[in-house]
Amino acid sequence: NAGVTQTPKFQVLKTGQSMTLQCAQDMNHNSMYWYRQDPGMGLRLIYYSASEGTTDKGEVPNGYNVSRLNKREFSLRLESAAPSQTSVYFCASSESNLEGTDTQYFGPGTRLTVL
Amino acid sequence: GQSLEQPSEVTAVEGAIVQINCTYQTSGFYGLSWYQQHDGGAPTFLSYNALDGLEETGRFSSFLSRSDSYGYLLLQELQMKDSASYFCAVREAAGNKLTFGGGTRVLVKP
C-alpha cells in the first residue's frame, strides 16, 4: 500500500496562475483533508471532506477550492495564486470513526512557491 | 473555536527526559493527539488521549487532564533521532477535524 500520495512534490507559480494539487489514498478512508504549513508553524486546515460527496471549509479556505472526486481522490485548486499562498501543502486521510484515535495519515507534501 | 499553546523550542541531551506541555481552549473536546514531524517530512501519529491519565507507548508517554484543559508528551531516554517538531492537536467533539498547535521543536544534543 502506498498510503497517501500527492503530486506534484514541488511547484513554482507566477502570481495569477492557477494549478491543482492532487491527492489520493489507498486505505479506503472516509475522510480527507488539506492543510497548509508555513515555515516554523503548525498545520492549518484549508478544507476537508468527511465522506465522499461532501466538502467543508476549514480555518483558511479563502483562495482555494476542492473536489472530492471519489472516495480515493481529493484535489485542491488555486484559481489565481498569490505570494501569500507560498507554503507546504499536506493532504491527509482518516477512517473517520467516532471511537478511538481516528489517526490521520499524511502525504509527503507539495512545496509551492508563488513568485 | 479552538486554540492550543505549546512551547516553541526545547533543547536536551541524549538520554535525558523532555516534557512538552500543551494547553488548549476549545468549544468542544473529544481528545488530544500528538504528532511528530522531522524536518522536510510529513507529520506522523504518536499518541492519543481521550480520557484523563497517562498513555505509554515505548519511550513516549502522553498525559491528559480534561478538567485543566492540559496535556503533555513525555519523551524518555532521548535519542538523536528524536530531534523533530512535536504537535499537539485537539479533536473536536462529535467530529473528525483536528486543530493543531504551533509545534515544539526538540533539539537533542550529544
pLDDT tens by residue, B43-81? 999 999 999 999 998 999 999 999 999 999 999 999 999
pLDDT at B91 (0 to 100): 86
A101 to chain B nearest CA, in Å?
Answer: 6
Q: Inter-chain contact B42–A101, Cβ cutoff 8 Å?
A: no
pLDDT tens by residue, A10-66? 999 999 999 999 999 999 999 999 999 998 889 999 999 988 889 999 999 999 999
B78 to chain A nearest CA, in Å?
Answer: 22
Question: Which class for A53: exposed (0-12), middle (13-18), buried (19 or more C-beta within 10 A)?
Answer: exposed
How far apart, in Å, are the Cα atoms of A46 and each of A10, B6, B12? 19, 22, 34
Q: Quickly state the pLDDT bin for B95 (edges 50, 70, 90).
A: low
Interface test with A, best of B38, B44, B98, B107 (most A CBs within 10 A): B98
**Chain B residues contacting A via beta carbons under 8 Å:** 31, 33, 35, 41-45, 48, 87, 91, 94-103
Q: What is the mean pLDDT of chain A?
A: 93
Chain A window 40-69: which residues touch B at a Cβ cutoff of 8 Å?
40-45, 48, 50, 58-59
C-alpha cell at A10: 514541488
B13 to chain A nearest CA, in Å?
Answer: 22
A10: Cβ–Cβ under 8 A, 6 or more apart, which residues? A110, A111, A112
In our burial notation (b when 16+ CB lie closer than 10 A, e otherwise), range B34-52 reads bbbbeeeebbebbbbbbee
Contact A4, A66 (CB under 8 A): no
Residue of A nearest to B1 (CA): A59
What's the rounded mean pLDDT across residues B71-99?
91
pLDDT-above-90 percentage for chain A: 83
- Among A66-75, B6-15, B25-34, B50-59, which is the least confidently predicted range? B25-34
Q: What is the mean pLDDT of chain B?
A: 93
Distance of CA B84 to the CA centre of its chain: 12
Which residues from B are below 8 Å from A2, CB to CB? Answer: none
More confident residue, A101 or A111: A111
Which residues from B are below 8 Å from A98, CB to CB? Answer: 94, 96
Contact A46, A76 (CB under 8 A): yes
**In one letter, which amino acid is B102?**
G
pLDDT-above-70 percentage for chain B: 96
A104 to chain B nearest CA, in Å?
Answer: 7
In our burial notation (b when 16+ CB lie closer than 10 A, e otherwise), range B61-93 reads bbbbeeeebebbbbbeebeeebbbbbbbbbbbe
